[in-house]
Amino acid sequence: MKRINNLQKLYLIAVFIILYAPIFYLIFYSFNSGGGMSHFESFTWEHYAAVFEDKRLIIIVLNTVIIALLSALLSTAIGVLGAMAIHFMRNKGMRNAVLSLNTILIVSPDVIIGASFLILFTMIGVKLGFASVLISHIAFSIPIVVIMVLPKLQEMSSSLIDAALDLGASRRDVVTRVILPFIQPGIFAGFFLALTYSLDDFAVTFFVTGNGFSTLSVEIYSMARAGITLTINALSGLIFVITVILVLGYYAISNRTKMPLTGVKK
Amino acid sequence: MNKGLQRIYMLPYALWIVLFVVAPIALVLYYSFFDITGHFTLSNYKSFFSSTYLTLTISSFWYALLITFFALLVSYPTAYLLTKTKHKQLWLLLIIIPSWINLLLKTYAFIGLMGLYGPLNAFLEAIGIGKQQILFTDFSFVFVSVYIFIPFMILPIFNALDKLNPALIDSSRDLGASSWTTFRRVIWPLTLNGVKSGVQVVFIPALSLFMITRLIAGNKVITLGTAIEQQFLVTQNWGMGSTIAVFLILFMFIVMVITGGSDKGASVNEKNK
């Protein structure tokens, strides 16, 4: 294959610089002792200290993390069941219909999801706050888990299940000892994606969160609307570090689970 | 497999489909027929076809088109060059990482970058153009949106290009096609599905952005998304908001049909491999 020339290299480098510049710009000024993002006065940790001293902000961070973990766990559980249901569906038309219903929430704009969930919650009387945000996050994460798990199920040869049944495994055994171990990489991938979708969501949460409850995205939005505060910069520095660690962790896991793909573990 | 097992699986997932996929769409449709005082009416639809909302829809489409076009313009060459690098999966990962940073933070960064005393203006001053109002213009809106969507556009195109059999390109060149012809007649048609899914993941969200319009465009640009948010959360006119949402859903389906309709091409690709 042809190697890329210098001009093309320059283009790629330019794209990378543009992609990363805003992030590093934010982090750079998080160490600024001056007030804004234009003059770098001197180095300071004070904005980071401010993040950890702000009790309200810490509660919001905790809320965000709890919502993300809980919604990822629950949506993974429901999504895996859903993927199995779709996979073992005999009726092809029905299967395609369910698959299209599944993709609706993935392609729907966040504004639509947020607005329609807001109507739904007020209709059935769910109080806006922790519960409504958690339920929405579970709801929009489920289809992603299904999409991640389904290809793994299709990879699995059905003779594995037949063999297990012939050897006297109960149906529960088939699920817990054959199917679940096989699709484990898909489950992990779905879980991580659900986690990041939840952490990253702004629009849906913005619609269904009441007055008392807030997640990080919503909080940053209201802070940013008020103007520049370097506390946000410090926060973004922390988030960047955590994100990179998460990404590396995800790749470590997905690389490790790639290896035993050929057989059933244990 | 057996049916009893299947039914138990079905339950939570089926419940989810009914409650969170079917019911919300039905509710939006239902609400679109009520005015702000709760009376059944078709006036929402009538006002949607008034000039205010039609201009809004057209300008929203125009911005979404611009955003999608520029995102594609930047992403296609990037994806193409990425497939030629040595550690392409690593480079791809590096492209993806910024998309995992919270959207709000990236947008917030541009408030500083494009501000009157920000580095962009300092640069403009240094090269003699002088200070410009960059923030709160349509340029800043399109630029930031393109920035946000680039990774999402690169990913499907990269996957399509990566699957492309290099022997096809070689044979095209051997048969005397120029690089441009090879691109136009071989590479582009075979990666069109990647482009289509890229367009799909950019165009629909671009129609409904509302956070970037508020923070970066300073209400200068109003998209369908902004209008919905305005109706639902500010003026509390859920009926009108739902009507706009109904049309947004409609546009979404149209875009999906246009960009998703060629699974045949994809299967041909598979066979070629």
pLDDT tens figures, A179-192 = 888 898 899 889 98
Inter-chain residue contact B85 with A4, CB threshold 8 Å: yes
pLDDT band at B3 (very low <50, low <70, confident <90, very high): low
- B-chain CB neighbours of A240 within 8 Å are 101
Class of domain A55-262: mainly alpha
Percent of chain A surpassing pLDDT 90: 38
Question: Residue B6 — very low, low, confident or very high, per pLDDT cuts 50/70/90?
Answer: low
Q: How far apart are CA A196 and CA A128, in angstroms?
A: 22
Q: What is the predicted pLDDT for the residue at A261? A: 37
**Mean pLDDT for chain B overall:** 86
In a domain, B58, yes or no: yes
Greater model confidence, B20 or B137: B20
According to the model, what pLDDT value does residue A136 have?
Answer: 96
pLDDT of residue B80: 92
Residue B236 resides in a domain = yes
Q: How many CB atoms lie within 10 A of CB A264?
A: 14
A63-67, A83-87, B65-69: least confident range: A83-87
Provide, rounded to the nearest whole percent, the portion of chain B with pLDDT above 70.
92
What is the model's pLDDT at position A90? 82
Chain A residues in contact with B233 by the CB 8 A cut-off are 206-207
The verdict on a CB contact (< 8 Å) between A109 and B28 is no
> Residue range B113-128: average pLDDT?
85
Q: Is pLDDT at B15 greater than 70 in this prediction?
A: yes
Count Cβ–Cβ pairs < 8 Å, chain A vs chain B: 230
CATH number of the domain at B237, please. Answer: 1.10.3720.10
Average pLDDT, chain A: 86
Q: Are A17 and B87 spatial neighbours (Cβ–Cβ below 8 Å)?
A: no
Secondary structure of A64-88 in HEC code, one letter for each residue: HHHHHHHHHHHHHHHHHHHHHHHHC
Mutate to test the interface with A, among B99, B101, B134 (most CBs of A within 10 A): B101
Q: What is the pLDDT of residue A36?
A: 77
Q: Is the pLDDT of residue B265 over 60?
A: no
Mean pLDDT value of segment B177-199:
90
Q: Is residue B68 pLDDT above 90, yes or no?
A: yes
Q: Residue A64 pLDDT more than 80?
A: yes
**The pair of three-digit structure tokens given for residue A75, joined into one six-digit string:** 């949506």
Per-residue confidence (pLDDT) for residue A33, from 0 to 100: 85
Q: Would an 8 Å CB–CB cutoff place A4 in contact with chain B?
A: yes
With a pLDDT cut of 70, the percent of chain A lying above it is: 94
pLDDT at A118: 95
Structural domain span for residue B146: 50-272
CB contact under 8 A, A111 and B214: no
**What's the confidence (pLDDT) of residue A83?**
92
Query: d(Cα A44, Cα B212) in Å, to the nearest integer?
Result: 30
Q: What is the mean pLDDT of residues B168-187?
A: 89
pLDDT at B269: 37
- Distance of alpha carbon A81 from alpha carbon B226, whole angstroms: 36
Interface mutation target, options A51, A91, A111, chain B, most CBs of B under 10 Å: A111
Q: What is the DSSP letter of A262?
A: G
Q: How many domains in chain B?
A: 1
Q: Which of A199, A201, A188 is nearest to A252 (CA)?
A: A188
Residue B90 lies in a domain: yes
The beta-carbon neighbor of A11 closest among B28, B77, B207 is B77
